[in-house]
Amino acid sequence: MSQTEPLVVQVALDVPLPQTFDYLPPDDEALPPVGSRVVVPFGRRTLVGIVLGHEAASTTPSQLKTIERVLDRALVDEDLLALHQWASRYYAYPIGACVSLLLPPALRRPEGFRAPRPQAYQLTDSGRAADVGRAPARAKVLSSLKEGALSTESLTEQGIKTSTLKTLTDLGWIAPCPRPAGEPPTKGPVLNSEQSHALSEISSALGRYQAFLLNGVTGSGKTEVYLQAAQAVLARGQQVLMLVPEIGLSPQLIRRVESRLGVAAVVYHSDVAEGERLRAWQMAKDGEATVVIGTRSAVFLPFASLGLVVVDEEHDGSFKQMDGPRYHARDLAVVRAKHLNIPIVLGSATPSLESINNVNQDRYQTLVLSEQASQAPPPRWRVIDQRGEVDGLSSALLERIDHHLTHGGQVLLYRNRRGFAPVLMCQACGWQADCTRCSAHMTLHQTQQNLQCHHCGSQRPKPNRCPSCEDPNLIALGAGTQRLEEALSQQFPDHPIYRVDRDAMTGRDDFETLLDRVKQGGPCILVGTQMLAKGHHLPKVSLAAVLDVDASLFSGDFRAPEHLGQIVYQVAGRAGRVAMDDGPAGEFILQTRHPEHGLLSSLCTGRYLDFATELLAERQAAGLPPMQSLALVRAEAHQTPPVLAFLEEAQARLRHRGLTVLGPIPSMMPKRSGYWRHQLWVQAATRPELIQGLSEGLSELQALPSAKRVRWHIDVDPVSL
Ligand SMILES: [Zn+2]
Ligand SMILES: [Zn+2]
């Protein structure tokens, strides 16, 4: 660098502004390269940032502040920065978000962090040759490690002190290492012909980009395909990233992956303790972590040599980040695989319309697993009219439950409402208990005797009389899981009833423990929400039912039918997956007050893909995603006028950029947590035009004075309205 042209360093900072910030390099150090982690003064604060570039100083360098410290030179790889740059433009969020997306929390603070305790230790060559003399504590460590690495836990369990481990590490006699896998890999089951075909297609794509949609019904053995493909990747000395929905990251899955592959899986999600997250990040970056299982944020992990990405339950909404940078981890994973030139497998029994469309457009290759692991016949489907039901259970359904229980079957009932009743109403005047902060009814919770808003979390005691007319007759309308549990235990007093929802299952292992009990037990009823729908294998369940689908039939959200179809097929897949020798035949029931509704008849063909194809045609006709790209500009404030004022100005600016803009229209839930919400629908003839228009428009919208009076954001490819 010549003296005449001083270079400034462009630093990304996690602040809600669209640009990077210029700093002078530290006085007596070389220029920090791109990807370096630096500490800089920002206003009155000191922030951690990432160096994104260098350029010739445009402002007088004397007006610029100097980087305080360079923490790590070139810490973040260029390929991740490139991925982030792509995402930041595509999803129209500030480039500075890379600090929070690419660094684990421990690395985002200027004051440093406490290094996590090593997971395990192994002997070094000098440790093997070391003479401990008369130091029994040291001798104990060295002899324990003679046979191979041991986890830190098992060493401390032998009474070895952490300080001894540290001393020996400092001496260079032992060294931290990844947690040993323990058992050698176990052999998997023999694959059926469809599984073998899927595996050979994936294996032959190793080392180049190819996106696969692995469409397999519940119980068809998708996980086994992932595992054997992962084995092939490990054999090449490469790493595997497996993304799962938040609800899917179970100890059961981790155990299965570890025992089948014979490696210690590294887990990465936001609930993992900070030290563990830092370690996982470091191990992935160093290549020590061969298999990483994580939720959506793991898509931004650094890898030394990534060879395969798997996205399980690719249709799941939790892959979309709902605040801050609103990226979609599945879609970003595909972009990443393309950049890295490696294959990616998206798996689902009920693929998203986006992925099915990508197959139709020849962007993804489809692999189908249709055979059930056993040769059990598919369950029989029935639609039951629930008009005249009591406590959410029609007499026809009760009769079927009784049949299955008395014939030794287990019953699984899905209801997407926790609590006792979704509405509390006054019989005299029609008053309903609504949340004062949201446009929503409050849910009656019987155990706590209170009303809870499931949207903003506010609670208040259940009133004894109507606040409007003082009438004491308040009635609970509809049935949530608590009410169903109560009604079922009256109807079937001789059978265990298990409720599965967020209120009943508070500990991380509660659900696993329950599942183990159910697997080993006799006839019983499981009633619950979302958690129940996911693919845990419950071989004795012969009857599965979705209890109230009506809200989805009339929803204003164009994705509601797709989500309904996914839930219905997931729950139906739980019935009779393995026929018991003398058990009842598998049966699936849909309870509705609108049995004649057209959507239900196309849903009940029994083939999800046919249903999805119909929905795609409807989306095509209506100009909706995935056939047409869509973005929302959402805004909210305590009053409506500033929201409308901003959105109207935003609309004019975006139209000026050639985009088609509808609105402002109220959000699906017009008021939430005290904020009134409206949105603009933004579309363009092609996706690149949409992205181009939004990324150019972003800073223009940010500069609007009306933007300062509301909370607003852009959501590209929104999953909820
Ligand atoms: Zn009243
Ligand atoms: Zn509320």
Neighbouring residues of the ion ligand 2, judged by CB less than 5 Å: 435, 437-438, 453, 455-456
Query: Does residue 459 carry a pLDDT above 90?
Result: yes
The predicted-structure confidence for 263-305, as pLDDT tens digits, reads as follows 989 999 988 888 889 989 999 999 989 999 999 999 999 999 9
Q: Where are the alpha helices (DSSP H) in 236-362?
A: 251-261, 274-286, 329-340, 353-360
430 has pLDDT over 70: yes
> DSSP secondary-structure letter at 614?
H
Task: Tell me the per-residue pLDDT of 587-638, one tens digit each, with 9 for 90 and over.
Answer: 999 999 999 998 898 888 878 999 999 999 999 999 999 999 999 999 999 9
> DSSP letters of 235-254?
HTT-EEEEE--GGG--HHHH
Q: What is the pLDDT of residues 650-673, one digit of tens each?
A: 999 999 999 999 989 999 999 999
Name the amino acid, one letter, at 94: P
Ligand having the closest approach to the CA of 432: 1
The ligand placed nearest to the CA atom of residue 442 is 2
Q: CA 454, CA 440: separation in Å to the nearest integer?
A: 9
Per residue in 67-123, pLDDT (tens digit) is 999 999 999 999 999 999 999 999 999 899 999 999 999 999 987 776 777 788 889
Instruction: Determine the distance separating the centroid of ligand 1 and the alpha carbon of 429, expressed in angstroms.
Output: 4
For residue 152, the CA-to-ligand 2 centroid distance in Å is 46
For the record, the structure tokens of 317 come out as: 């909404």
Supply the pLDDT for residue 316.
94
647: number of Cβ within 10 Å: 24
- Among 61, 623, 620, smallest CA distance to 356 is for 620
HSE-up of 327 (CA within 13 Å, CB side)? 29
Question: What is the tens place of the pLDDT at every residue in 467-490?
Answer: 999 999 999 999 999 999 999 999
Number of the ligand closest to the Cα of 475: 1
Rounded Cα–Cα distance for residues 587 and 573 (Å): 10
Number of residues written out for the chain: 721
Alpha carbons 305 and 284: distance in angstroms, whole number: 9
The contacts of residue 185 (CB under 8 Å, 6+ apart) are 231, 259, 260, 261, 262, 263
Q: How many CB atoms lie within 10 A of CB 395?
A: 12
> How far apart are the CA of 638 and the centre of ligand 2, in A?
14
Smallest CA-to-CA distance from 19 within 112, 97, 133 is with 97
Three-class SS string for 143-189? HHCCCCCEEHHHHHHCCCCHHHHHHHHHHCCEEEECCCCCCCCCCCC
Closest CA to 211 of 333, 125, 75, 103: 333
Give pLDDT tens digits for 184-205: 788 888 999 999 999 999 999 9
pLDDT of residue 639: 97
The pair of three-digit structure tokens given for residue 294, joined into one six-digit string: 């994580």
User: Ligand 2 centre from 457 Cα, in Å?
Assistant: 6
Q: Which residues have CB under 8 Å from 656's CB, separation 6+?
A: none
In this structure, which ligand is nearest to the CA of 429? Answer: 1
DSSP characters for 386-423?
A: -TT-BTTB-HHHHHHHHHHHHTT-EEEEE-S--SSBSE
Cα 40 to Cα 50: distance, rounded to the nearest angstrom: 10
What CA–CA distance (Å, rounded) separates 137 from 145?
13
Residue 637 CA to residue 675 CA, distance in Å, equals 5
Distance set, CA 666 to CA 96, 151, 322, 439 (Å): 30, 55, 18, 11
Give the number of whichever ligand sits closest to the CA of residue 472.
1
Give the ligand at the shortest distance from the Cα of 426: 1
Angle at the Cα of 624 from the Cα atoms of 619 and 626, rounded to 5 degrees:
85
258: amino acid identity, one letter = E
From start to end of 507-584, where are the E strands? 525-528, 541-546
The burial class, CB within 10 Å (0-12 / 13-18 / 19+), for 129 is exposed
Q: What is the mean pLDDT of residues 507-536?
A: 86
460 C-alpha to center of ligand 2: Å?
11
CA of 559 to the centre of ligand 2 (A): 23
Ligand 2 centroid to residue 458 C-alpha, Å: 6
Q: Which residues of 424-435 are buried (b: 16+ CB within 10 A; e: fewer)?
A: bbbeeeebebeb
Report how far residue 96's alpha carbon sits from residue 52's, in angstroms, rounded to the nearest whole number.
10
Instruction: Say if residues 546 and 567 touch (Cβ distance below 8 Å).
Output: yes
**What is the number of the ligand closest to the CA of 669?**
2
Q: Enumerate residues 6+ apart whose C-beta is below 8 A from 129.
A: none
Taking the CB of residue 175, how many other CB atoms lie within 10 A of it? 16
More confident residue, 143 or 458: 458
Assess whether pLDDT exceeds 80 at residue 422: yes
Strand-pair category, 587-592 with 541-546: parallel
Ligand 2 centroid to Cα of residue 119, in Å, is 43
* CA 474 – ligand 1 centroid, Å: 8
**Higher pLDDT among residues 17 and 398, named by residue:** 398
Q: How confident is the model at residue 1 (pLDDT cuts 50, 70, 90)?
A: very low
Question: Is pLDDT at 458 greater than 90 in this prediction?
Answer: yes
How far is it, in rounded angstroms, from Cα 370 to Cα 608?
12
CA distance linking residue 362 with residue 56, whole number of Å: 45
Q: How remote is the CA of residue 464 from the centroid of ligand 1, in Å?
A: 11
Query: Beta strand pairing status for 443-445 and 210-216?
Result: unpaired
Q: How far is the CA of 473 from the centre of ligand 1 (A)?
A: 8
Record the tokens describing residue 158, joined without a space.
């032998």
CA 463–ligand 1 middle distance (angstroms): 11
Distance in Å, CA 420 to ligand 1 centroid: 20
Dist CA 685 CA 358 (whole Å):
18
Strand segments, DSSP code E, in 489-566 are 497-500, 525-528, 541-546
Residue 62, pLDDT above cutoff 60: yes
The maximal CA–CA distance of the chain, rounded, in angstroms, is 89
What pLDDT was estimated at residue 452? 97
The bound ligand whose nearest atom lies closest to the alpha carbon of 456 is 2
CA of 445 to the centre of ligand 1 (A): 20
The alpha carbon of 716 and the centre of ligand 1 are apart by a number of angstroms equal to 44
Ligand in nearest proximity to the CA of 441: 2
Any idea which residue has 């609800």 for tokens? Answer: 247
pLDDT (tens digit, 9 = 90+) per residue, 691-712?
A: 999 988 988 999 999 999 999 9
Which residues lie across from 348 on neighbouring strands?
A: 215
Residue 676 contacts by C-beta under 8 Å, 6 or more apart in sequence?
Answer: 636, 637, 638, 639, 640, 643, 670
Task: Please check whether residue 310 is in contact with residue 347, taking contact to mean a CB–CB distance below 8 angstroms.
Answer: yes
Q: Which residues pair with 268 in a beta bridge?
A: 294
Distance CA 491, CA 148 (A): 58
Task: Please count the CA atoms within 13 angstroms of the CA of 500 that sit on its side-chain side.
Answer: 26
Rounded Cα gap, residues 295 and 328, in angstroms: 11
pLDDT tens for 301-329 read 999 999 999 999 999 999 999 999 999 99
Q: Which residue has the tokens 């049935």?
A: 479
443-445 sheet: strands from edge to edge: 443-445, 450-452, 459-461
Kindly report the backbone phi and psi dihedral angles of residue 536, in degrees, each rounded to the nearest multiple of 5, phi listed first.
-70, 145
Decide: 220 and 369 in contact? Cβ < 8 Å: yes
Residue 559: which pLDDT band, with cuts at 50, 70 and 90?
Answer: very high
Both tokens assigned to 465: 């009389």
638 C-alpha vs ligand 1 centroid, how far in Å? Answer: 29
Please state, as a whole number, how many other Cβ atoms lie within 10 Å of the Cβ of residue 613.
Answer: 14
Over residues 420-424, mean pLDDT? 95
639 C-alpha vs ligand 2 centroid, how far in Å? 16
Average pLDDT over residues 406-417: 94
Element (H, E) at 78: helix 78-90
What per-residue confidence (pLDDT) applies to 2?
44
Nearest ligand for residue 473 CA: 1
Evaluate if residue 575 carries a pLDDT over 90: no
**CA 561 to ligand 1 center in whole angstroms:** 35
At CB < 8 A and 24+ separation, what contacts does 613-618 make? 613/356, 615/353, 615/561, 615/562, 615/565, 616/353, 616/356, 616/357, 616/360
Give distance in angstroms: CA of 476 to centre of ligand 1: 13
Of 249-253, 461-465, 578-582, the least confident: 578-582
Q: Which residues contact 366 (CB under 8 A, 6 or more apart)?
A: 212, 213, 215, 359
The number of CA neighbours under 13 Å toward the Cβ of 566 is 20
Say whether pLDDT at 124 is over 70.
Answer: yes
